[in-house]
Structures are given as structure tokens and as C-alpha cells.
């Protein structure tokens, strides 16, 4: 079983973001002092690959990312969890156009002979939900997005997807692309021995064959600060005023 896991280096979700980037253009974030992590949804993808391999007792897990040199650290996190080797498709900047990235990944994956390609359902930095499904399309493979549970068979699988108000069960044949949702599994911590072993695992670096970027970020702003609350009065006497304001000002009733 040969499994590819596509991952992305993203800012830690606890980071306090400052707008900057692009030479002060305000279309990116200021990376100074920002801690970067393996995209949390990609952790589910890595874990699922590891569990598949553990169960099969054999196989190879290849971690692939598009990014700068710093993304090697992200690959090594996945290698420390137990993946076998990495591929960095080097690009100075990651295009905002998901298709451009998907094309670079598809070009790498095409000849790889993978039985399964796993991705996170989205990257927490841009929340586009695009790359995984586009990779499937470009490779002409079946795609299951946002899989929250998977029963693996011989060359086939059945996945559960959490859809609005219910669960959809889908069957598909391998090879396929699956994008992983929270709840699929519990990602393991990179064990200390795994961290040391990861230093010796190979990471291949080659230029990313990005597609043309047809979407560009024009501006990036933080959400507006929450307005200060207002106390309209105290006791039962204030209820009428509160209801009125909820209707006329907040428009929630």
C-alpha cells in the first residue's frame, strides 16, 4: 500500500495574527515571531495513513507539501509521527489560487503509483477547502471530501461524511483522494524517538510546477473589534427597554 499525504505549513491557531506580508502590501500576515505547525486537519490525514500502514503491516507513506524551505520542518513533523519520506515542492510563495497548488501536487502524484491520497479537508490559514478535491479532479480519481469515518476494504472503502443535519455514507474504489475531517481519528503525538528518527529520513526537494494563479488576494483585514456592551437598566423595569432594543437595534427578535 503506497499512500501520499498532502500537508501544509500553517500558523498555530493560537497565534495572534498581525497583517503584513508582501512588502507591506497588507495581503498576507507578518510572520515574525509566528509559530508554524502542521495543519491540524492534515494531522488526521497523516494518522489515517499510519493506521492503514500499521494494519497492513507493510507499505510506504510519502508526505508532500508545496512551500518554502521552512516547510521541511512541517514534513519532519509528519515523519516524526511515522511517515517514511517527504517531498518538498519548492515555491517562494504559495499562490492564493488553490488550483495552482493542486496542479503542482497532481504533477508530483501522477506518476507515483499511489493507492491512496489523503489530505486535510481544509488548511486553517485560508480555509479554501479546494486543493484536495482539485487534485482528485486533475488525476481523474474518485474524491471523498470531509470524511469523518472510514471502513477500509480490499481496494474499496466506505466513508461517512457529516452533512448538514445528517450523515452521508459513500462507497468508493481505490485509488482515491480522501480529505479528512475532525473526528476521523486521534492523531498521535510525535514520540521522542520518532523525532530523532525523522532527522534521518529523506526529504526530496524539487521545484513546484505551479499552475497559473488566477485568484489574487487584494486585501486582508482582521475582524472588527467587538463593540463594548451596554447595560440598559436593572431589574424588571429594564426588560421592556431590553426587548425593544433587541428588536430594533440588534434585530435578533
Partner 1 sequence: MAPRFTGVDFYGVEGLLGEDERAVRDTVRDWVEEQLLPVINESYLEGRFPKQLVPQMAELGFFGANLPEEYGCAGLNNVAYGLIMQELERGDSGVRSFASVQGALVMYPIYAFGSEEQKQHYLPQLASGELIGCFGLTEPDFGSNPAGMITTARETKDGWVLNGAKMWITNGSTADVAIIWAKTGDSKDPSSIRGFIVPTKSKGFTAKDQKGKLSLRASDTSELVLENVQVPRDALLPKSDGIKSPLMCLTQARYGIAWGGVGAAMACYHEALSYARQRVMFGKPIASYQIQQERLADMLTGITQGQLLVLQLGRLKDAGTMTPQQVSLAKRSNVNLACECAREARRLLGANGILIEYSAMRHMANMESVYTYEGTHDMHTLILGEAITGIAAYS
| Rounded-to-integer distance, Cα 66 and Cα 189, Å | 23
Nearest to 47 by CA among 194, 187, 160, 190: 187
Shortest reach from residue 26's CB to partner 1, in Å: 25
Cα dist. 157→79, 100, 170, 215, 231 in Å?
Answer: 25, 29, 8, 35, 56
| Residue 15 contacts residue 40 (beta carbons within 8 Å) | no
How many residues are listed for the chain in this entry?
253
Quick one: CA torsion of 180, 182, 186, 192, rounded to 10 degrees?
Answer: 80
- For partner 1, the closer of residues 203 and 217 by Cβ is 203
Residues lying near partner 1 in the complex (CB under 8 A) are found at 12, 14-15, 35, 73, 76-77, 80, 189-193, 195-196, 198-199
Q: What is the rounded distance in angstroms from the CA atom of residue 117 to the CA atom of residue 48?
A: 11
- Nearest approach in angstroms of CB 188 to partner 1 is 9
Q: Which is nearer to partner 1, 80 or 119 (CB)?
A: 80
CA 10 to chain centre: 8
14 vs 164 by CB, closer to partner 1: 14
Smaller CB distance to partner 1: residue 197 or 217?
197
**Least distance in angstroms from the C-beta of 194 to partner 1:** 8
Q: Which is nearer to partner 1, 228 or 249 (CB)?
A: 228
Q: Which is nearer to partner 1, 223 or 236 (CB)?
A: 223
Least CB distance to partner 1 at residue 25 (A) = 26
Reported in sequence order, the residue ranges of 153-195 that DSSP labels E, i.e. its strands, are: 156-163, 166-173, 176-180
Report in angstroms the alpha-carbon separations of 87 from 9, 60, 63, 213.
13, 13, 6, 22
Amino acid at each position: 500500500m503506497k499512500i501520499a499525504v498532502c500537508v501544509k505549513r500553517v500558523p498555530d491557531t493560537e497565534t495572534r495574527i498581525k497583517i503584513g506580508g508582501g512588502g507591506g502590501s497588507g495581503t498576507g500576515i507578518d510572520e515574525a515571531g509566528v509559530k508554524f505547525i502542521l495543519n491540524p486537519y492534515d494531522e488526521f490525514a497523516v494518522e489515517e495513513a499510519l493506521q492503514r500502514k500499521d494494519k497492513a503491516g507493510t507499505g510506504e507513506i510519502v508526505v508532500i507539501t508545496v512551500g518554502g524551505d521552512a516547510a521541511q520542518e512541517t514534513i519532519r513533523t509528519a515523519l516524526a509521527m511515522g511517515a517514511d519520506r517527504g517531498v518538498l515542492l519548492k515555491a517562494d510563495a504559495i499562490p492564493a489560487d488553490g488550483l495552482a497548488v493542486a496542479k503542482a501536487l497532481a504533477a508530483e502524484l501522477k506518476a507515483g503509483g499511489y493507492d491512496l491520497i489523503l489530505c486535510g479537508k481544509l488548511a486553517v490559514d485560508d480555509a479554501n477547502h479546494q486543493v484536495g478535491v482539485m487534485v482528485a479532479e486533475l488525476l481523474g480519481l474518485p474524491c471523498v471530501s470531509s470524511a469523518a469515518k472510514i471502513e477500509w476494504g480490499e481496494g474499496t472503502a466506505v466513508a461517512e461524511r457529516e452533512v448538514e443535519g445528517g450523515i452521508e455514507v459513500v462507497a468508493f474504489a481505490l485509488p482515491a483522494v480522501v480529505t479528512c475531517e475532525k473526528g476521523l481519528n486521534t492523531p498521535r503525538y510525535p514520540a521522542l524517538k520518532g523525532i530523532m528518527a525523522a532527522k534521518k529520513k529523506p526529504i526530496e526537494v524539487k521545484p513546484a510546477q505551479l499552475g497559473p494563479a488566477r485568484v489574487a488576494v487584494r486585501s486582508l483585514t482582521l475582524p472588527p473589534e467587538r463593540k463594548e456592551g451596554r447595560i440598559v437598566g436593572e431589574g424588571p423595569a429594564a426588560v421592556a427597554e431590553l426587548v425593544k432594543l433587541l428588536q430594533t437595534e440588534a434585530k435578533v427578535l
